[in-house]
């Protein structure tokens, strides 16, 4: 007999398990790197390329899972992403500016005080990957899952708007590394602001565009520092 879980139990399980999947797959990639080329573990750029490749793969695995679940609810991806309300220009600009300002300020401070190391000696493929593929993937998948999917599920099982925002933001923060406390705090705050905008405006497209832009700026700062 296949064990089934009520929707409420699945939601809490997924909020915990989704971040854990990132760490399991990333650990697998690091072990594989050590087995093949242990000297690359000391190469900051190569190690980060491997880790972000693991994140890239995990993003799309979880996106595929969520899209399948939406189809079971007779929701197409296009229908789920489409704004549920008329896009209001002022809130859209406000969330775009505030989130980009927040993360840009964090990156500048983190690079200045050595919390994040500058990235040097990247080849053309790595530059394209980090400036194009990674931001597009993160912006699309993370907003789809942690704002659209999780917030909606938490609301549907009876949580208040703010509880839904906070719980989804905690899960979102933990996919970015629980061992870096300052980044954990910043991504949690990012989740709160993005979640509040989503609950009020029901507009994933604005958040996806904001997130993609933010990641492009963040990677560019790391390359240019």
| pLDDT single digits (tens) 154-180 | 999 999 999 999 999 999 999 997 778
Does any domain span residue 2? no
Tens of pLDDT, residues 138-155: 999 999 999 999 999 999
Is 1 domain-assigned? Answer: no
In a domain, 219, yes or no: yes
Residue 11 belongs to domain spanning: 7-224
Rounded distance, CA 112 to CA 106, Å?
10
Residue 217 is assigned to a structural domain of this protein: yes
Average pLDDT of the chain to the nearest whole number: 92
Distance from C-alpha of 97 to C-alpha of 123, rounded to nearest angstrom: 31
Give the confidence band of 38 by pLDDT, cuts at 50, 70, 90: confident
Residue 98 placed within a domain: yes
The number of folded domains in the chain is: 1
> Is residue 140 one of the residues assigned to a domain?
yes
User: What is the C-alpha to C-alpha distance for residues 18 and 106, in angstroms, rounded to an integer?
Assistant: 25
Residue 115 domain-assigned?
yes
Is there a domain that residue 138 lies in?
A: yes
More confident residue, 196 or 116: 196
Q: What is the model's pTM?
A: 0.93
215 three-state secondary structure: helix
Say which residue the tokens 């990639």 belong to.
29
């Amino acid at each position: 007999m296949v064990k089934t879980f009520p929707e409420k139990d699945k939601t809490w399980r997924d909020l915990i398990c989704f971040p854990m999947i990132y760490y399991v797959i990333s650990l697998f990639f690091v072990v594989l790197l050590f087995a093949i080329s242990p000297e690359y573990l000391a190469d900051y750029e190569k190690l980060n390329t491997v880790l972000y490749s693991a994140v890239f793969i995990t993003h799309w695995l979880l996106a595929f899972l969520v899209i399948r679940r939406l189809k079971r609810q007779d929701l197409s991806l296009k229908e789920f992403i489409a704004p549920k309300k008329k896009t209001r220009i002022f809130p859209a600009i406000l969330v775009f500016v505030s989130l980009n300002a927040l993360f840009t300020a964090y990156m500048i401070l983190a690079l200045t005080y050595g919390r994040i190391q500058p990235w040097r000696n990247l080849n053309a493929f790595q530059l394209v990957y980090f400036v194009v593929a990674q931001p597009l993937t993160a912006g699309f998948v993370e907003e789809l899952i942690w704002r659209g999917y999780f917030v909606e599920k938490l609301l549907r099982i009876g949580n208040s708007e703010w509880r839904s925002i906070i719980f989804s933001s905690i899960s979102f923060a933990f996919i970015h590394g629980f061992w870096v406390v300052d980044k954990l705090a910043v991504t949690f705050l990012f989740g709160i602001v993005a979640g509040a905008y989503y609950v009020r405006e029901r507009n994933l497209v604005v958040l996806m565009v904001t997130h993609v832009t933010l990641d492009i700026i963040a990677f560019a700062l790391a390359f240019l520092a």
